[in-house]
Amino acid sequence: MTTELLQQVRIINPLTQTDRVGDVLIEDGYIRSINDKIKSSDIPDNTSIRECQSLILGPGLVDLYSHSGEPGFEERETLTSLLKAAAAGGFTRITVLPNTSPPIDNPAVVAKLQQLHKASQSNPLPLLNIWGAITRDVKGEKMTEFADLKAAGVVGFADGDALNNLALVRRSLEYLQPFRKPLAFWCCDRNISSDGVMREGANSIQWGLPGIPATAETSAIAALLEVVAATFTPTHIMRVSTARSVELIADAKSKGLPITASTTWMHLLLDTKAVKSYDNSLNIEPPLGNPEDMMALRRGVKQGIIDAIAIDHSPYTYEEKTVAFAQAPPGAIGLELALPLLWQLVETGELTALELWKALSTNPAECLKQSPSKIAAGEKAELTLFNPQQSWKVESKILHSLSSNTPWLGKELTGKVVGIWC
């Protein structure tokens, strides 16, 4: 039997909308007691006591979508390294996208990932959720066997890339409605985005890089919303990145459409001005927005229009990223960095601690139609302990991810996860 007492820790509980200081007693993986101060007579013998003043305890973080290198690209990331990076970043649940090699479009690949998870050497071991692919051919024109994937245990259905065949999108929404599984789409019109590598605007002209119009995203979102209105199938909109997209989603929600939405952590922190450095880790999909986009996304999270913040962890090797900006594969890692950097928005007052934690934990779980973790006596301990004052340097040798494609490499950060229970 193992028992731990966290004394005078700041407890952030989005489900009860409380932010308080108290003692938390954890015994054999369960929360035994929570109180302003637990009496010494109620503390079992051999309890490990930890002074937690200035530390923050919240529900375990949940990532809606990230990329696993395994199977197919183990030099970028193995499932074990992904899980270790997730745990180091405070994530107790991680959800992998289906664009592996082979893709997660049949039960055999699902079973393989489940076996790898079971055999993982990650300790602690976050829960693994798996997105099943919506399409199964290179052109994205044929639907997968949804029933077989559901039976294999996928959490829901998504594609790692944009789907521009609206007829197939509609058929997917109609077919999957009875499944009661999450269905997620990334909205991007590839014909409009063409060969662009950053958001179109004054900065794209100034930096001399091909621009991607905001309409590449907004036109695709508008089309998807029309299909959702016709089928009324609950749908999640991934990777929201423009101010106009936030408006479209707000309007759709006000009309009662069954939609949820997420943006990624980097889109809340950086805008096109950052691309001046030509750091290849800033080449991401969708591209970083213009300053007005970033501010609209922050407001969207605060107001609940944007339900969740995803990490979209996308590892690439040094060799893959060490090319010209426009030729670099889009994506950056983030599982170990997101919470410390997003906490800056709490420090500046743009988000409250409850708003940020909700968008990183309970809301993503609900988007996946899962029960969020609860901070209450008798509940399983699925928790994240965070030190907002601890400084550390982002270096390849201390990152658990096998890849280090991040614009924060070599920089000092303030804030670090110091423990999880899962």
Judge contact between 242 and 214, C-beta under 8 A: yes
* 19 in catalytic set: no
Q: What is the DSSP string of 202-262?
A: HHHHHHT--EE-THHHHHHHHHHHHHHHHH---EEEE----HHHHHHHHHHHHTT--EEEE
Tell me how crowded residue 171 is: count the other CB atoms within 10 A of its CB.
14
Query: Which has the closest alpha carbon to 94: 56, 120, 75?
Result: 120
Q: In whole angstroms, what is the distance from residue 63 CA to residue 359 CA?
A: 10
Query: Which has the closest alpha carbon to 288: 269, 305, 306?
Result: 269
Query: Which has the closest alpha carbon to 61: 30, 85, 42, 89?
Result: 89
Q: What is the DSSP string of 349-384?
A: TSS-HHHHHHHHTHHHHHHTT-PPP--STTSB--EE
| Tokens coding 360 | 């990183």
Q: In whole angstroms, what is the distance from residue 28 CA to residue 116 CA?
A: 25
Judge contact between 72 and 160, C-beta under 8 A: no
Residue 124 phi, psi (nearest 5): -75, 165
Q: In whole angstroms, what is the distance from residue 58 CA to residue 353 CA?
A: 10
What residues are labeled active site? Answer: 312
